[in-house]
Amino acid sequence: MTDQQRVVFLGSRACVAGVDEAGRGPLAGPVVAAAVILDAANPVAGLKDSKCLTAQQRVRLARAIRQRSRAFALAFAGPEEIDEINILQASLLAMERAVLRLRITPDHVRVDGNQIPAFRGYAHKFEIEPVVRGDQSVAAISAASILAKVCRDRLMRRWHRVYPLYGFDQNKGYPTPGHLSALQQFGPSPIHRHSYAPVYRARQKRRA
């Protein structure tokens, strides 16, 4: 079923939000989630999985998404939360926060992947649907993946100014050879995810 068919199926006034996250794999920084409700009357051309776009394309599309969508919201879960509840649960928590920050309550929420946020303690009325590879097939999820990626990259460039030893402006926290080398030399920073094996090993080495 296409996006357009699904909206018709849900009703002519159905409000569908797409949700995705960025930053599950890095050793440092938050996981960032976005929720987007697109405007069928004001479409954004060129939407696709953020990983299939260049940095310049993502920035350009992010600007268009912000200007043309009916609503969007961003949220994150920080390194401490990731260490406490694990990256999967932190990703779902960030997604939940993003949906709840939308200024329009959706009728239907489509989440990239095979799991969905729990929304515990929140009496929501919208339906929630996991969509495997949704960032490649659902326009609203593609838009969310772009916003989340652009936001997270900007956050990591800001963190680079605070902790310049790790090259966050270039690696965005991912385990590149330069990043791993800096971890071994300087130990983890306060924004590293200490439950991740390379960070844990570097911390133990510094303590020895």
* Among the listed residues 106, 150, 157, 161, the one whose alpha carbon sits nearest the alpha carbon of residue 129: 106
Q: Is the pLDDT of residue 132 over 80?
A: yes
Which alpha helices (DSSP H) does the chain contain, by range? 3-10, 55-68, 79-85, 87-100, 134-137, 139-162, 168-171, 177-186, 197-207
Q: Are 87 and 55 in contact (CB under 8 A)?
A: no
Q: Are 113 and 137 in contact (CB under 8 A)?
A: no
Q: Check which CATH number belongs to the domain holding 103 and give it.
A: 3.30.420.10
Tell me, yes or no, whether 34 lies in a domain.
Answer: yes
For 40, the token pair is 């069928």
- pLDDT (tens digit, 9 = 90+) per residue, 13-66? 579 999 999 999 999 999 999 999 999 999 999 999 999 999 999 999 999 999
Query: Domain residues for 47?
Result: 3-164
Tell me, yes or no, whether 126 lies in a domain.
Answer: yes
Tell me, yes or no, whether 29 lies in a domain.
Answer: yes
Number of structural domains the chain divides into: 1
Tell me, yes or no, whether 90 lies in a domain.
Answer: yes
Tell me, yes or no, whether 201 lies in a domain.
Answer: no
Tell me, yes or no, whether 189 lies in a domain.
Answer: no
Q: Is the pLDDT of residue 2 over 70?
A: no
Tell me, yes or no, whether 193 lies in a domain.
Answer: no
What gap in Å lies between CA 101 and CA 104, rounded to an integer? 9
Of residues 7 and 34, more confidence is placed in 34
What gap in Å lies between CA 204 and CA 114, rounded to an integer? 35
Q: Is the pLDDT of residue 12 over 70?
A: no
Q: Is the pLDDT of residue 9 over 50?
A: no
- Whole-model pTM: value is 0.91
Tell me, yes or no, whether 11 lies in a domain.
Answer: yes
- pLDDT (tens digit, 9 = 90+) per residue, 149-193? 999 999 999 999 999 999 999 999 999 999 999 999 999 999 999
Indicate the burial class of 119 (C-beta count within 10 angstroms; 0-12, 13-18, 19 or more).
middle
Report strand pairing: 31-37 vs 108-112.
unpaired
